């Protein structure tokens, strides 16, 4: 029996039917989880989000398998869409010195109003925030759109939409947005020494590709390579100026 889950549901005043409806599963499935069966990762993360608590508080042993895989590797998620929303929010909310976003569009973040508010809050607190997106008219962006099977114009339109959604941040002194024309092998999301790295795979949308949760522990750890990559891409970028 999973008493941790049972107590958490009781504290949140949620029934098995409530959880089943929220996760689109059968109430009998939730009952089996309460009886002690461990859910699939996507369901564990969804329940943790629903209850606003950490997965490890509900399934300590299962959560441990996603942590400390190696020095500097905190977790690996099979797909970007499987990374819980709270992980993205906690990443940027925890930044005290620097936030960095390197992607082609990062539209999924720009569409999250709560996350935009977090970025604004941290920037107002003096956290240096650098956002580096693909130049919509670049050959590299067109190539990525073709590779993903959505077409060059769609990829460019996604970037334009993202720029519009990020544009309210431009009025903040700590925020700078640039456009790059590089071939991205990964999208990089940084908060101080902590990173979420979304790998890119040919003919695969970024949302379906794996994400590594890394932490810089020393100058030889895996995070350093991506931090260096970010800086080099940033140096090639051109300042973005929003036309109101």
Q: Are residues 209 and 114 in the same domain?
A: yes
- Measure the CA–CA gap between 158 and 106, rounded to whole angstroms: 9
pTM: 0.74
Q: Are residues 112 and 18 in the same domain?
A: no
Q: Are residues 114 and 25 in the same domain?
A: no
- Measure the CA–CA gap between 225 and 229, rounded to whole angstroms: 6
210 Cβ contact list (under 8 Å, min separation 6): 76, 77, 78, 79, 80, 198, 199
Q: Where does a domain end: 22, 46, 64?
A: 64
- Helix, coil or strand: residue 101: strand
Q: Are residues 125 and 235 in the same domain?
A: yes
The pLDDT value given to residue 65:
54
Q: Report yes or no on 18 lying in a domain.
A: yes
The pLDDT value given to residue 53:
86
CATH number at residue 184: 3.30.870.10
Which pairing describes strands 128-134 and 175-180: parallel, antiparallel, or unpaired? parallel
Q: Are residues 58 and 78 in the same domain?
A: no
186: which strand partners?
Answer: 199
The pLDDT value given to residue 175:
97
Q: Are residues 58 and 103 in the same domain?
A: no
User: Across the chain, where does the E strand assignment appear?
Assistant: 73-77, 98-102, 128-134, 175-180, 186-191, 194-199, 211-215, 238-239
Q: Report yes or no on 244 lying in a domain.
A: no
Q: Are residues 181 and 114 in the same domain?
A: yes
CATH number at residue 50: 1.10.260
Rg of the chain, C-alpha, whole Å: 19
Q: Are residues 150 and 91 in the same domain?
A: yes
Q: Are residues 33 and 153 in the same domain?
A: no
Q: Are residues 24 and 83 in the same domain?
A: no
Q: Report yes or no on 133 lying in a domain.
A: yes
Q: Report yes or no on 31 lying in a domain.
A: yes
Q: Which domain holds residue 9?
A: 3-64
Count of domains observed in the chain: 2
Q: Where does a domain end: 17, 37, 64?
A: 64
The pLDDT value given to residue 39:
87
Q: Report yes or no on 115 lying in a domain.
A: yes
Q: Where does a domain end: 13, 46, 64?
A: 64
Q: Are residues 87 and 32 in the same domain?
A: no
Q: Report yes or no on 60 lying in a domain.
A: yes
The pLDDT value given to residue 84:
87
Measure Cα distances from 144 to 87, 133, 214, 230 in Å.
Answer: 26, 13, 25, 18
Q: Report yes or no on 43 lying in a domain.
A: yes
Query: Which pair of structure tokens corresponds to residue 112?
Result: 């999250």
Query: pLDDT 10s per residue in the chain (244 long)?
Result: 888 899 899 999 999 999 999 999 999 999 999 998 888 888 888 898 898 888 888 888 765 555 555 678 888 899 999 898 889 999 999 999 999 999 999 999 999 999 999 999 999 999 999 999 999 999 998 888 888 888 779 989 999 999 999 988 998 999 999 999 999 999 999 999 999 999 998 889 999 999 999 999 877 788 999 999 999 999 999 999 876 5
Which pairing describes strands 211-215 and 73-77: parallel, antiparallel, or unpaired? antiparallel
- Measure the CA–CA gap between 103 and 183, rounded to whole angstroms: 10
Q: Are residues 110 and 231 in the same domain?
A: yes
Q: CA 2: distance to chain centroid?
A: 29
């Amino acid at each position: 029996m999973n008493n941790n889950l049972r107590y958490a549901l009781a504290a949140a005043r949620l029934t098995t039917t409530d959880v089943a409806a929220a996760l689109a599963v059968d109430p009998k499935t939730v009952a089996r989880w309460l009886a002690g069966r461990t859910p699939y990762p996507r369901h564990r993360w969804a329940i943790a989000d629903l209850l606003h608590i950490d997965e490890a508080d509900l399934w300590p042993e299962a959560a441990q398998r996603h942590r400390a895989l190696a020095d500097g590797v905190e977790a690996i998620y099979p797909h970007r869409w499987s990374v819980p929303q709270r992980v993205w929010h906690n990443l940027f909310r925890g930044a005290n010195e620097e936030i960095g976003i390197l992607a082609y569009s990062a539209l999924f973040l720009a569409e999250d109003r709560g996350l935009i508010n977090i970025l604004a809050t941290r920037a107002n607190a003096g956290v240096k925030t650098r956002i580096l997106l693909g130049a919509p008219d670049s050959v590299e962006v067109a190539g990525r759109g073709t590779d993903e099977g959505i077409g060059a114009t769609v990829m460019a339109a996604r970037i334009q939409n993202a720029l519009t959604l990020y544009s309210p941040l431009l009025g903040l002194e700590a925020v700078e947005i640039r456009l790059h024309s590089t071939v991205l092998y990964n999208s990089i999301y940084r908060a101080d020494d902590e990173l979420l790295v979304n790998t890119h795979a040919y003919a695969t949308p970024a949302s379906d590709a794996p994400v590594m949760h890394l932490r810089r522990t020393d100058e030889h750890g895996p995070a350093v390579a991506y931090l260096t990559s970010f800086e080099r891409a940033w140096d090639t970028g051109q300042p973005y100026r929003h036309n109101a």
